[in-house]
Amino acid sequence: MDLRGRAVLSVNRLQVLLMLFHTMVRIMAEQEVENLSGLSTNPEKDIFVVRENGTTCLMAEFAAKFIVPYDVWASNYVDLITEQADISLTRGAEVKGRCGLNESELQVFWVDRAYALKMLFVKESHNTSKGLEATWRLSKVQFVYDSSEKTHFKDAVAARKYTANSHHLSALVTPAGKSYECQAQQTISLASSDPQKTVTMILSAVHIQPFDIISDFVFSEEHKCPVDEREQLEETLPLILGLILGLVIVVTLAIYHIHHKMTANQVQIPRDRSEYKHMG
């Protein structure tokens, strides 16, 4: 290939790279993330919003706590004992996110990035007896923590950053076009890079929708978790039974009243013929 051909090829490659660069810059510029936790009446709950092209594409409200085991030296400085750090997601956290047609992601950082949470959501379609049905789910959770951070960790051995990941996760499964809501606590186990340690993530007061948001800053119809539905049924069942019992009593009294009235209006026919002479 002559020098002219090589020059043309280099220019073409440069143009392609510039186009890709401008596309990435435009996409990044069009994405916005907001931490609206100050609007929540629950001090433990955070509210995160990811917007793309001026429209809300991901909303998440939840309270999160992480139970992290770590090693410290025993008093004899020979043996190791396991302590536990309880780390809650705090308000004012830094948030990042991205939205896609079938994959969305939320990232949260707090305490000077000593802790980082990444949640990956996917939307899938499945063939069922009713036809093709689409659902979305939480497919991956990653939690990065720094055991040298002094607020939650006290004299941790081998203090450094560790990463805890979920394994074959399929949580918060929800029909496409709906949001997921669950007030009850849910736990997710995460395998830590700290050997033989498992981090427990506890979610509560959850309301999440990573796809198909129709109205800006407004969740779509809720898909409640089975625990909440059961608790709601347990709360309303006594009321339903009381209403049914009251209705049965009212109907019984009404039937008795009607029967008594009809019986009272009937003419009594004498059983003994001698009584006929007293009639008329």
Alpha carbon of residue 127 to chain centroid: 25
8 A C-beta contact, residue 50 and residue 32? yes
Residue among 264, 193, 182 nearest 228 (CA):
182
**Could you tell me which residue, 175 or 6, shows the higher pLDDT?**
175
105 closest CA partner among 75, 133, 138: 138
Confidence (pTM) = 0.72
For the chain, give the percent of residues with pLDDT over 70. 73
The yes-or-no verdict on residue 20 having pLDDT over 60 is no
> Of 127, 206, 219, 137, nearest to 171 (Cα)?
137
Question: With contact defined as beta carbons under 8 Å apart, do 62 and 45 qualify?
Answer: yes
Question: What token pair was written down for 145?
Answer: 């923590």
pLDDT band at 246 (very low <50, low <70, confident <90, very high): low
The pLDDT tens digits of the residues spanning 135-186 come to 999 999 999 999 999 999 999 999 999 999 999 999 999 999 999 999 999 9
Helices (H), the chain: 3-30, 226-265
Tens of pLDDT, residue by residue over 185-194, are 999 999 999 9
Tokens 């995460």 belong to residue:
190
